[in-house]
Amino acid sequence: MLKQRILTALAIIVPVFLLIAFAPSGLVAGFVLLVIALGAFEWARLGSFEGQGARVAFAVLVLAVPAGLLLIWGDAGWTGFHAWVLALGVVWWGLVFLGLPAYRPGLGARRWGRWLLRGAAFPTLAPAALALIWLHDSAPMLVIYLILLVAAADTGAFFIGRRFGRSPLAPDISPGKTREGLLGALAATLPVALIGAWAFGLQAMDALVFVLLGIVVALVSVAGDLQESVLKREAGAKDSGMLLPGHGGILDRVDSLTAAAPVFAAGLLWTALFAQGG
């Protein structure tokens, strides 16, 4: 299984990084929206929508939010309406972060709980799409940095948790995740954030803000992972799909990124560390 995961990861990450680094912004935006649409389709399946037609309709509805905002406001929206969408994304993940400890299995069995899980796709996926597109517009390397940061957090959590994990982080959601793994995630992101600050040529105070933002982003990315775990647990599914051998579905790969992207983008906007087109 580990070998399959590595091979699939390599097959994905090389072309994706090349696309991010060299493709024009419009093509990258189209790719991001495609990923969001596929993720929304998987979300519909986990949300107990019956039939392909209902799932496709749900995916189109979710996709219409970021696509519509880009179509209507375009680049002019980054300092206005799009920024508010990113802010709503940050608020959403703050609520998720606070609400996860209160979760108990059986949420999806209640009608209101089932619709809550379904509706969560909108504040999860739409701000993430806009954030990734804005980051690429600002500097393609910011997207690559964010992916590496989240990957470092996931890797640190996995290996440290596997070796030293003793204290469950969220036993009702994902029994395998531990507090030691969380500390491992934060520790693994620190060198990536430091290298990123150096690579972007930030001065001392800006570098400090950038590193602290990276740690916050890594912490929030864990909430993205746990939120998807709730969705899968309520659906009785091990993976969100079967599109990626050894990894599961699209959501299984981007769950942490959906939380990290709007927080990172909003942090850069609010601190003015990077200007669009810089």
30-37: which pairs have CB atoms within 8 A and are 24 or more residues apart?
Answer: 32/129, 32/132, 32/133, 32/136, 33/63, 33/66, 33/67, 33/129, 35/250, 35/254, 36/62, 36/63, 36/66, 36/125, 36/126, 36/128, 36/129, 37/62, 37/63
Tokens of 51: 């039939």
Q: Sort residue 272 into left (φ over 0), alpha (ψ -120 to 50) or beta.
A: left
CB atoms within 10 A of CB 105: 11
| pLDDT of amino acid 276 | 45
Judge whether 256 and 222 are in contact, CB under 8 Å: yes
Which residues of the chain register pLDDT less than 70?
1-9, 74-82, 243-247, 274-278
Judge whether 105 and 60 are in contact, CB under 8 Å: no
Amino acid residing at 20: I
Judge whether 257 and 32 are in contact, CB under 8 Å: no
Per-residue pLDDT of 176-226, as tens digits, reads 889 999 999 999 999 999 999 999 999 999 999 999 999 999 999 999 999
Judge whether 5 and 246 are in contact, CB under 8 Å: yes
DSSP states along 79-100: TTHHHHHHHHHHHHHHHHHHHG
Tokens of 187: 């520790």
pTM over 0.85: yes
| pLDDT of amino acid 197 | 96
User: Strands, DSSP E only, in the chain?
Assistant: 168-170, 174-178
Unique residue bearing structure tokens 């749900």: 58
| pLDDT of amino acid 84 | 81
| pLDDT of amino acid 81 | 60
Q: Distance from first CA to last CA of the chain, Å, rounded? A: 41
Tokens of 143: 């997207």
In the chain, what is the greatest distance between 2 CA atoms, to the nearest angstrom?
Answer: 55
